[in-house]
Amino acid sequence: MPLRIRTVRYQPRFEHHRLELRARVPRLEQILDGLEWLIARSPEHCPIVWGTMLRYAMSDAFPGAPQVVVIFTIEDGDQVCHVRDLWTR
C-alpha cells in the first residue's frame, strides 16, 4: 500500500497562537514540523475529542520545552487536515 499523505492547512487561530508562542517555546518550529508529519501521514491514529469531530496530536515535553498540543479536523473526503489551534501544557 502506498504512503498516503494528506494536505495540511493552517487556520488563522493556529497562526495567531504560533506567533505568540514562538518567543517563549524553544524549538517550536521543529516540534510543529514533527506534529505536521504525524497529521499528514496518519491523522486517524490521533485521539478524538469526545463528542466532536476534533482530533489532537501532542509532542513530548523535553527539558526546557513544554508539551505542545495541536487540534485539527480531517475533512474534504479524508484528504485535507485543517489545523485549528495549539497550546502548551
Q: What is the pLDDT of residues 28-60, one digit of tens each?
A: 999 999 999 999 999 999 999 999 999 999 999
**Structural fold of domain 7-88:** YaeB-like fold (3.30.2310)
Contact (CB, 8 A) for 55 and 8? no
Q: Give the model's confidence band at 78: pLDDT under 50 very low, under 70 low, under 90 confident, else very high.
A: confident
Integer Cα distance of 23 and 21 in angstroms: 6
Given a contact cutoff of 8 angstroms between Cβ atoms, the answer to whether 70 and 47 are in contact is: no
Q: Is 45 exposed, middle or buried (0-12, 13-18, 19+ CB in 10 A)?
A: exposed
Instruction: Tell me the three cell numbers of residue 58.
Output: 501532542
Cβ atoms of 86 and 69 closer than 8 Å: yes
The answer to whether the pTM exceeds 0.85 is yes
For the chain, the structural domain boundaries read 7-88
